[in-house]
Chains A and B, each alone.
Chain A
Amino acid sequence: MVVPPQKFITPRQDGTDSGGQGVSVWFPQGVTGPAPLVIFSHQQGGIQGAAWNNGAGWIKVLQHACNQEGWIFAASANHGADSWSSTNAQNDLTALYNYVNAIVPVSKTVLCGASMGGSVSAMALINNKVPNVKGLLTYDGAFNLAAMYANSYDLSINTGFGITPGTVSTGGAAAGATSIPLSISFPSGTNIRIGYGTANDETVTVTGTPTGAGPYTTPVTALTKAHAAAEKVSDYPDKTAGFDPVLQSSAAFPNIRYQLVSGVGDTTCVKATNTDALAAKITTSLEKTTPGHLGGHLSSVTDPTINIPFLRRCFA
């Protein structure tokens, strides 16, 4: 057994990055660099550091252990509670890296995220938003944006991507119909998703200019399912195109190390549709594991006895 050191006192340092986002950084005592950096992205509804204080919280477990190893640990506000994998949230990780690197030079980086933070970590990795990334570590990652949208996170994702929501209006629409009454007037050509969160979930395209004044009679490509009145509808497909980690090609994922921790009984970010689906996309890697945990969503999730050895391999 290699017993890790317990020597660094690590007060949190708060600041503001070049994009105006609040950031929190924990530097190991006396670090001068170049030093490894772990960038953490928070969950939906989370914040960069204040909620963790200097002693509480499950992510504190990882932050403390990282600092003991001599690594820097940093987190951004990531444009708030509902940023998901949006361009803003991805760019926040670039700004956070630059913020830290200007204080202490960074040698290597690992992207780490929890739930919603997993989505931005994965997309920032794919889009090379942060230099010299050696690993991806996630906890109950929300990698399947479409599944999360159908699993009650639609309002949050609407906020993150500027999605316009509406409903099917009175009368609903039958399968095979080529027009549908909607509460929102979507422009011709818009891909719209109808009935998410129900068994009727499908995507169609607006084929002409809607008429009426609410409800709008909207011409669409033929429906394959019947829709009841009040079913949800939005321009989700167009607004999130290119931002859903599990819809990326396998070639997009770099040949690095991956540790994707997931709760075996997690009903929020269901393992099979999120973590397992992302893992299946990663076909070339130096290391890829999907350790399970027995707690619920983000409960009893951080385990330094496996996370720190993984990070050591990343930073070796």
Chain B
Amino acid sequence: MGILDAPAADAYGRPLTGFNPVRDLPGIAAWYDASKVSNANGTAINQWADSSPKNRALIQSTGSKQPTVKTAGLGGLNTLSFGATALMIDSGFGADWGQPNTHPQPLSYVALVKASSTLIGAGTNRHIVAGNFGGSQSCTMLLISTNQNLVLNAGSYAAGQGGPALNDDAWHVVVGIFGPGSCTTMVDGYVTGGAITQTQGTWPMVQLAVGGNANGNFPFGGEIAEVIVCDAELSFAQAAKATEYLARKWSL
């Protein structure tokens, strides 16, 4: 087959010229894309569909905790506004993930977020992607620390050595990689922290929550455009590709 005869799409009809998270990221486990939410501006939503083939929708049935749609929130695309109490949870976690209550590392979280400088006070952790954290349960967490840096935690705070203060009302692509022998944080394509040991701890994913933890604590407070969860340890190059994909898609 000559180059001019090469197909323009893969076997699933996805263009080969662009980056497709389902095809091009390893082990995609969930993909929440606010640009596909079509509700009117200001509408509170009770479900955020999973754009991956896994069908792991996020749910919030309590009206006061529901995020609202912001039309043309970024790059002409819709985003979701998470207020000081808003969060969404994979209520079917367990059955959804093929295991009873937990899902082990390696895991990678990629998100495009804008943390408000005013919604959440200084000195409070802000969970971007977390789970059931509290009591005897703990979990993998990607969060903004009290120093306003991106941090991983799966038992202990890790990989928070640097990076920008994220409570700046600006959009950032954030990546957290929980490996069995390493951990990494990345912001806007730069490695901002990491270690060559499992410094973050060994806790698994316990439920999946976006915009806070599943217990309603440590709200993120801001806008979220997209969240991708991978059941794999992304390489730096893969994380950079995902970052570039989000930056182009959302006109950053």
Contact = CB atoms under 8 A, between A and B. Distances in A.
A267 interface: no
Nearest to B242: A3
B97 interface: no
Contacts of B161: 57-58, 60-61, 300-302
Nearest to B185: A61
A246 to B, nearest CB: 26
Interface string A32-69: 00000000000000000000011111101110110000
Nearest to B240: A6
A65 B192 CA distance: 9
Given A4-B190, A6-B239, A53 B165 contact: no
Given A6-B237, A305-B164, A55 B195 contact: yes
Interface in A291-316: 293-295, 299-306, 308
Contacts of A300: 145, 147-149, 160-163
Given A295-B149, A300-B147, A300-B161, A3 B237 contact: no
A65 B182 contact: no
B147 A294 contact: yes
Interface of A: 1-7, 53-58, 60-62, 64-65, 293-295, 299-306, 308
Main secondary structure of the interface of A (DSSP, over half): loop
A294 B148 contact: yes
Given A294-B165, A305-B164, A3 B196 contact: no
B149 to A, nearest CB: 4
A299 B146 CA distance: 12
7 contacts: A1-B173, A58-B162, A294-B149, A299-B147, A300-B147, A302-B161, A305-B187
B247 interface: yes
A294 B167 CA distance: 11
Given A6-B237, A61-B194, A304-B162, 9 more contacts: A1-B252, A2-B189, A3-B240, A53-B196, A55-B197, A56-B194, A61-B163, A61-B191, A61-B193
